[in-house]
Amino acid sequence: MPQRYQYLRRVELHDVWPSHRERCEAWLERCEAAGRCVDLLVVPRHAGNLQRSGEGMPESFCDWLRDLSDHGHRLWLHGLVHADALGRDAEFQELSSDEMHRRLDLGRRDWNVAALPGFEGFCPPCWKAPGLLASVAAEEGFLRTASRWGIREQGHFELLPVVSSWGGDSPLARTWGKGLGMQVRMLERLRLPWRLVLHPQDLDTPVGNRLASLL
């Protein structure tokens, strides 16, 4: 299928965990209809903590992820629990180097216990993390780390900004959503490669419909 946007390089589906599966499947159907492979950003212990798995990764969920991988979609680790101690979607934002090491190690261990295919890389929730994340992640075996502005791989940074919803339903979020098409036109005019980011929460909302139109 001919691609509508010449410089759209990656489509990402964030916040992939069991209770989001139905919405994720709906997004994947739209992506596949548009001929897009997707980077799936998986959270192993959503609603859990360092000691408790929360929703975890039940076998049926892992079977689904393995099948998606077999069909060309790519799996990323997206934090361990996604939220920080205050419940904000910024798990890694204020972590020390030692704590980042610990959570990445736990995430990798959960991944291996679940017998999931090798991960593509690591993306912190909401792209919020200290500047030393890339070096910490590399030490833990993650070849790629993603930020809002691009992807770092083994010391090389590829500029690859995201087009995404702002999150929530505030006046700012609604205004941001209305400008998504303008953002894409600017990136395409500049011939700047970009990533399209989808969230289960955005499905069939006004901003979600604008994002779907960009596939």
Per-residue pLDDT of the chain (215 residues; tens, 9 = 90+): 556 899 999 999 999 999 999 999 999 999 999 999 999 999 999 999 999 999 999 999 999 999 999 999 999 999 999 999 999 999 999 999 999 999 999 999 999 999 999 999 999 999 999 999 999 999 999 999 999 999 999 889 999 999 999 988 889 999 999 999 999 999 999 999 999 999 999 999 999 999 999 99
With beta carbons less than 8 A apart as the criterion, state whether 177 and 207 touch: yes
| CA 89 remoteness from chain centre | 12
Q: CA 157, 103, 14, 128: dihedral to nearest 10 degrees?
A: -60
What is the reported pLDDT for 154? 86
What is the reported pLDDT for 2? 57
In this structure, are strands 8-16 and 194-198 parallel, antiparallel, or unpaired? parallel
The candidate with the shortest Cα–Cα distance to 128, out of 171, 86, 84, 87, is: 84
Whole-model pTM: value is 0.96
Q: Which domains does the chain have, with CATH numbers?
A: 8-212 (3.20.20.370)
Tokens of 113: 């216990």
- Look up tokens 């990764």; give the residue: 57
What is the reported pLDDT for 210? 96
Calpha distance 177→209 (Å, rounded): 10
